[in-house]
Chain A
Amino acid sequence: MQHKEIYDVVVIGAGPGGLAAAIEAKKAGARDVLVIERDVELGGILLQCIHNGFGLQTFKEDLPGPEYAQRFINEARAVGVEFLLDTMVMDLTPQRRLHLSSRQYGYFTLDARAVVLAMGCRERTRAQIRIPGMRPNGVFTAGTAQRWVNVEGYMPGKNFVILGSGDIGMIMARRLTFEGAKVSRVLEIQSYLSGLSRNYVQCLQDWDIPLQLQHTIKRVIGKNRVEAVETVAVDDHWNFVPGSEEIIPCDTLLLSVGLIPENELSKKAGVMLDPVTSGPFVDERFQTSVPGIFAAGNVVHVYDLVDYVSVAGNTAGTHAARYALDESEVEADYVPLKAGKNVRYVVPHKLDRNALEAGDVQLQLRVTQPIEEDVWLEVRSESASIVRRSERYARPGEMVTILLKPGMAEAVRKAESLTVDVYPKAEA
């Protein structure tokens, strides 16, 4: 493809967030929209997620990852989105100049009137959780193993132990079992699951793979290849429980111990990051602290369902197009959103005071601690409760969504700030 020197909207990353953003940007009137993808195919991490469970919200269908991605790829092509594959963005300036590197096109620059960051996230590693012991081959992140099995068609082990009850780890436990490997157990240092409950049921329980809560790896054993791991129980403060050690023979240790938004490029552009989410501070349009640079999907915060990533992409894409077409937008007056009782963070971080006049605004949050009873989710200003709804439980592994509706516009307009709380109904 012959690329232009300047585009209305450039989207970095062709995963679900980026594809949705590109489609909506085009639909919102952007004349030229370019998606830059470093892999040789479109779809991002969905391409290696061959299990089903995608699209229940968006399409009311239960799709495997690649098929979910394909629907967006088809639509993007149909509306005239342009693509640069096998191309990596090396640098991004606050003025939205991109430096790119590609085998096919060389090293070059282009400019964008608006940018959507959609680089997704990366997996936490062994070093980040500092697992002691030897450093043989055979300690992989679950996503790396997933790529090998589902994309390359190779098995990175025969006998697995999985550390962390993240979704990819549980899904890989089932996938590896299908392939005839042994998955002897999944360990979770917390006292609760870190992924979705449905994955626990479908991927572990149904296959008799034991989950040990409050357990971790004390030591990796093996010189060239993992030979065993020593596991240990931990107390509520993650101290080892003496005498609870067990040596589990295995040749591979998979890690599913968390995801971190990938924001190296955002930092280069001067985008301010939230230390809690590790993603950019965003408003309800998903605009970052740098005007004209938007962000969508797991680059902002780690979602539990891809459907929500696509919705976030829609929002970011629409507003990126509007920005590109009319850069003279007035400075917004914002109402900050704060994480209150038992809330780890809320996205967006702030809300245009008049945002609700244009329609609903979706707030998304993660709770700090699990509450296994009826809870209230509540948004309040200093003086009044703005909206309150109930759920049967609140778990850190499952994102919580609250809708602000146009009917609440007046209350929001008058607020100094908004705070979101999650608490047991019994406490109310």
Chain B
Amino acid sequence: MKNSTYDFIIIGAGVVGSMIARWLSRYQADILLIDKEADIGMGATAANSAIVHPGYDPQPGSLKALTNVRANPMWDQLSAELNFAFQRPGDFVVAIGEQELPILDTLYQQGVKNGVPGMKIISAAEMLEREPLINPEVSGALWASTGGICDPFQVTVAAAENAVLNGAEVLLETEFLDFLMEGSRVVGVRTNRGDFFARWVINAAGIYADAVMHKAGVRPEFVIKPRRGEYFVLDSADIRTRNIYFPVPTEKGKGILVTNTVHGNTIIGPNANIIDDKEDTSCTRDGLEEISQGARKLIPSIRLRTVIGTFAGLRPMGNARSQNPAIDYGNDFVIEIPQSVQGLPAIAEMVVDLLKDAGEKLVEKKGWDPIRPARPRFRTMSHAQRQALCAADPAYGRVICRCENVTEGEIVREIHAPIPATTYDAIKRRTWLGTGRCQGGFDMSRVVTILSRELGISLLEVTKRGGGSEFLFRQTKDKEAQDAA
């Protein structure tokens, strides 16, 4: 690493930390982004509904309502600059049965208060015309044209890479242990890789943000609990929904939704269970049953036999507002990022504003490049584009993932990218390899071989997602004998 003294250290390279790094990278400052995992975006970033909300749902006046509505229009420019997939199919809150109909109006009014544009209450007939798969007992829907979808992991990679291209540093497998203090002032962080000094430390530790905060000796009453949400991914060959569909919200939250993804699949979920263990991303039998029932309320034709993937994510739920509304945490840390990524650019912008308010003189850097160049994605290309790509680099001709059509060229590029992908999951999340019908059955051994070759490590050292998740234990007897001979 270039130095151990920085202007800013950001703890946590999730979607929030990475976006803050990207926002700060436009200023003359030394930035270090650290994460305890082997890749960026391994926490809540990697497992959620992937929706950019219009902002009619949060309580008027809340920080969440503000960031939702402020951030929503920023996504088009962001995706153009950072080259990640973003679509605005619009979202629908679907009322099933007459008794749910009045809730649509409440939401609509809330949206108006929050300043959400492009909302309209539509009839059952119009809803069915727009999506024939919807439950015929639909009584009406709230349509919000600004609802969007993205892949939050790919947003994270794009933002962090852009920060790196503009001079920021990223250190992975670097776990925050404690703050370095001078009197009552934070002057840096202690990690498993040594001490790093900084003028400012930004806590973007997601689900562990409370623990990080407590190390600074503040707000011990503030606690973040994981709220686990389980999801199903459906085979795109069997069902293709057109938009984002929510049930009417209840006191438990937005409920079990049906949405398409930027990768072309439909996903259903999540349920919402507060748990204790911040690492417990397990799926449960009851949860999966709950989700399929919830999803069938909106789209009755959904069949579980078309499921090709299941996952669970942990959303950080803080007690700031619910248990102690008197405390204003806003000036200390930006903590609670519930549900998804909707407020993201506005949160990064807000961090910059907080720093400015605190007297930090941020000077814009000459030659800051807002663009993160896209890398070729074989699966989305036309025949002609593929032909040109393979002619330029033959490695793009070899298909490694047969379901999602990911090539060796793409894998090698990711291994040598500005933030190198050094694990199987890192490659999977960047290229979407191994996410199809065979779930990596065909590509896995081939990707492990490519990682071993490109990183110059033994096959035994290649991992799924960092130390302790190796694929292979030892050579077979034959292979040992061969190598000995």
> Which residues does A use to contact B, with CB under 8 Å?
38, 86, 88, 90-91, 99, 101-109, 122-123, 125-128, 130, 132-137, 140-141, 143-144, 147-149, 151-158, 179-180, 218-220, 223-225, 251, 264, 267
Contacts and interface: CB of A to CB of B under 8 A. Distances in A.
B438 A88 contact: no
B469 interface: yes
Contact of B390 (A107, A141, A157): A107
B403 interface: yes
A106 B472 contact: no
B445 A224 contact: no
Contact of A122 (B394, B438, B464, B471): B438
Nearest to B277: A223
Contacts of B290: none
A101 B407 CA distance: 10
B398 A86 contact: yes
A223 B278 CA distance: 11
Contact of A90 (B233, B311, B405, B442): B405
Contacts of B430: none
Contact of A103 (B281, B309, B397, B472): B397
B281 A156 contact: no
B470 A137 contact: yes
B398 A103 contact: yes
B310 A156 contact: no
A390 B44 CA distance: 60
A104 B408 CA distance: 13
A90 B399 contact: yes
Interface stretch (B77-85, B334-342, B413-421, B476-484): B476-484
Given A135-B281, A155-B474, A155-B476, A125 B387 contact: no
A132 B283 contact: yes
Interface of B: 233, 237, 279-285, 287-288, 304-305, 307-311, 383, 386-387, 389-391, 394-395, 397-399, 402-403, 405, 407-408, 437-442, 444-445, 449, 459-460, 463-479, 482
Contact of B394 (A104, A156, A179): A104
Contacts of B437: 122, 125, 264
23 contacts: A88-B402, A91-B383, A101-B398, A101-B407, A102-B398, A103-B397, A105-B397, A106-B387, A122-B437, A125-B437, A127-B310, A130-B304, A140-B444, A144-B444, A149-B476, A154-B474, A154-B475, A154-B476, A155-B472, A156-B472, A157-B473, A220-B282, A224-B465
Given A91-B383, A134-B282, A155-B474, A123 B390 contact: no
A123 B282 CA distance: 23
A108 B389 CA distance: 12
| CB-based closest 8 A-B pairs | A153-B479, A224-B468, A137-B464, A224-B469, A103-B398, A125-B439, A107-B387, A107-B390
Contacts of B311: 135
A89 B283 CA distance: 36
A225 B476 contact: no
Contacts of A157: 473
B449 A123 contact: no
Contacts of A99: 383
B274 to A, nearest CB: 18
Given A107-B387, A108-B387, A132-B284, A225 B441 contact: no
Contacts of A137: 463-465, 469-471
Given A90-B405, A108-B387, A147-B445, A158 B459 contact: no
B295 to A, nearest CB: 14
A132 B288 contact: yes
Contacts of B237: 264, 267
Nearest to B467: A224
A223 B478 CA distance: 31
B475 A155 contact: yes
Given A101-B397, A264-B403, A127 B472 contact: no
Contact of B282 (A91, A133, A180): A133
B179 to A, nearest CB: 27
Contact of B445 (A38, A148, A267): A148
A127 B440 CA distance: 11
Contacts of A218: 285
Nearest to A87: B397
B389 to A, nearest CB: 8
Nearest to A86: B398
A143 B281 contact: no
Contact of A152 (B282, B390, B459): B459
A49 B445 CA distance: 16
Contacts of B449: 152
A357 B468 CA distance: 64
Contacts of A134: 280-282
Given A219-B282, A225-B468, A127 B442 contact: no
B288 A130 contact: yes
B397 to A, nearest CB: 4
Contacts of A180: 477
Given A38-B402, A108-B387, A144-B441, A132 B282 contact: yes
Given A144-B444, A219-B282, A153 B394 contact: no
Contacts of A143: 441
Given A102-B398, A103-B408, A224-B469, A152 B445 contact: yes
A224 B423 CA distance: 13
Nearest to B306: A128
B370 to A, nearest CB: 33
A126 B309 CA distance: 8
Given A147-B445, A154-B476, A267-B237, A88 B399 contact: yes
B307 A130 contact: yes
Nearest to A144: B441
Contact of A141 (B389, B441, B463, B473): B441
Contact of A154 (B395, B444, B464, B479): B479
B473 A127 contact: no
Nearest to A180: B477
A225 B470 contact: yes
* Residue of A91, A103, A105, A107 contacting most chain B CB atoms (<10 Å): A107
A153 B281 contact: no
Contacts of A123: 438, 441
A96 to B, nearest CB: 16
A108 B390 CA distance: 10
A151 B438 CA distance: 20
Contacts of B391: 106-107
Given A38-B399, A103-B395, A154-B460, A144 B445 contact: yes
Given A88-B399, A144-B441, A223-B468, 11 more contacts: A90-B383, A101-B390, A101-B399, A103-B397, A107-B391, A123-B441, A125-B438, A148-B471, A152-B445, A154-B473, A155-B476
Given A135-B281, A148-B445, A152-B449, A224 B405 contact: no
